[in-house]
Structure 1
Amino acid sequence: MEILRLLDSESRVAVADLSVRFGTSPVTTRKDLESLERRRLLRRVRGGAIGYEGSDEGAFELRLRHRAETKRAIARAAAGLVHDGDAIALDCSTTCYFLAEILRERQGLVVVTNGLRAAEVLSDSATVILTGGTLRRSSWSLIGDFTDSLSRGGPLLHGFFGVRSVSPVHGLLELSAEEAAAKRKLAAACRDVYALFDSSKISTFALHAFARADRVTGLFTDSQVNDETVAAWDGTGVTTHRIAPSAEEQP
């Protein structure tokens, strides 16, 4: 993943430079770039590669590294709502992946999720129920028709969801219609619905709502969210929890 780390700080990498840096032949370097491109982690251009900028929300591995410490802080705060034996839902977002890592310490959890990475993390410590559907590789999620697992038993206690954008008018939103449909079904099975997101999502464009504002129980975000946004959500009866940045991100 060193190539991806270079792309985090540089807009472009060159085959010649990578070959010198890693002591590999140009042929080997090109094969490495081809492999990363197939995983939609970068886009090859003449002589090298640039960061991937697809039409969807971006590859999971890239998003996992974006503001990782902020997402972990948000996940730690949200984890305080979950107790041993709870039945909850997690979506396929990277913040919920970090939440899953924390929840491995809980005992007797039942977790319904469409996120394969979260399911993998919790597989040895919780009862994990996958929603079913078709694999979407860019987000390692399952979309489409669910099995009847969500209709069995009582409602789930809490549902935790990442978002593409949030709006006190339209609710919680996603860019992909398929992702929104999958999250809509998960949210409908939950008593409480919580959004977990960093402040960059406040001004992000999105198309498809998966939970109306009146279905949202609370928001967990970072301290960079402004007072006006918090006041707008307060007006809908939704509490916003602003989490202070970790020491690593403080100026």
Structure 2
Amino acid sequence: MTAQQRLNKVLEFVTERGNVSIADVAEALDVSPATVRRDLNLLAQQRLLTRTHGGASALGSGYELPLQYKLVRQADGKAAIAKAVAGLVSPGDSVGLNGGTTTSEVARVLGSSERLLARGSTPGITIVTNALNIAYELSVREHVKIVVTGGVPRSQSYELVGPLVAATLREFSLDLAVLGVDGLTGRFGATTIHEGEAEVSRQIATVARRVVVAADSTKLGRTTFARICPLEQIDTLVTDLPPAADVGAALEAAGVEVIVAP
């Protein structure tokens, strides 16, 4: 386990339990109390948790973890989802991607796809994104044309938000929008934690002919603060496990195609 992976697990454990002792974390992760103490101090310095006497407490259920602390969560499921989403993309397509761990994985698969290589002077694929990490990672791929929206970056997610994003997106027509979400339910549709990111995702969906939500099973049946769109505006859901009965019924009623990644 790398230091980053251990910090991730420590932070997840604290977030899930709310309040923990150093002994609790040491036992759960099979590491020494001294290592836990150093990790908790480091995470407290980064304002990701609150240090207490003999342990730590979470900042709150609505707190959004920075992107780097989400990278290894549901990794196998996200990889499978990304491959399935890439299968929906044809050579020459224009694809809108919002930010997040799942869409970042989609970008990696698209960037390494031989099927989408450029033909002559035509790019193999055009990616329009508000996520700085996705743009940076794909900038070295010769077959990918990258278009980055304007906007102001959020340090939590590397996403650009604000009115400049919408001004950029209004000039485009996309074949496909691939959206990562934090929650998906029948009542509230697709949701995310930050209202600015919800608005950007909504704008990306508005200028796309097909809207695909890429979400692992932990997001299904969950609602977060800011609404992106109702289920009726989603064409396809790509996930890693079959939805629960109530979510599945809502998706079917809304006409959403469900693809379970193998």
Q: Please report the TM-score for the alignment, with normalisation by the length of structure 2.
A: 0.77
Residue range with higher mean Cα deviation, 89-98 or 197-206: 197-206
How many pairs does the alignment contain?
A: 236
Task: State which of 218, 242, 249 in structure 1 corresponds to 2:260.
Answer: 242
2:164 match? 146
Q: Deviations over 1:118-172 (max 9, x none)?
A: 11221112222222211111112111112533233x5101001111211334321
Distance in 2 between residues matched to 1:86 and 1:37, nearest whole Å: 44
Q: Deviations over 1:2-58 (max 9, x none)?
A: 4334455676575xx889866xxx9xx4xx766544555544344565566563432
Distance in 2 between residues matched to 1:149 and 1:236, nearest whole Å: 30
Instruction: Note if contact 1:7-1:50 (Cα within 8 Å) is conserved in structure 2.
Output: no
Distance in 1 between residues matched to 2:126 and 2:47, nearest whole Å: 32
Is the aligned partner of 1:111 residue 2:127?
yes
1:130 match? 148
Give me the CA root mean square deviation: 2.9
* 2:162 alignment partner AA: G
Residue range with higher mean Cα deviation, 78-87 or 165-174: 165-174
DSSP 3-state at the match of 2:156:
coil
- Within a 5 Å distance, the mapping from 1:170-181 to structure 2 comes to 170-181=188-199
- Within a 5 Å distance, the mapping from 1:134-213 to structure 2 comes to 134-147=152-165, 148-152=167-171, 154-213=172-231
Q: Deviations over 1:196-241 (max 9, x none)?
A: 1111212323233222322211101122422442232111111111
Q: 1:40 to 1:218 in 2, by over 3 A?
A: farther
Is the aligned partner of 1:219 residue 2:237?
yes
DSSP 3-state at the match of 1:70:
helix
Distance in 1 between residues matched to 2:49 and 2:208, nearest whole Å: 36
Instruction: Note if contact 1:7-1:13 (Cα within 8 Å) is conserved in structure 2.
Output: no
* 2:126 alignment partner AA: V
1:4 match? 8
Distance in 2 between residues matched to 1:13 and 1:140, nearest whole Å: 32
* 2:62 alignment partner AA: S
Identity %: 28
Is the aligned partner of 1:98 residue 2:105?
yes
5+ long unaligned stretches in structure 2: 118-122
Q: Please report the TM-score for the alignment, with normalisation by the length of structure 1.
A: 0.80
Is the aligned partner of 1:59 residue 2:66?
yes
Residue range with higher mean Cα deviation, 198-207 or 128-137: 198-207
Q: 1:40 to 1:111 in 2, by over 3 A?
A: farther
5+ long unaligned stretches in structure 1: 245-251
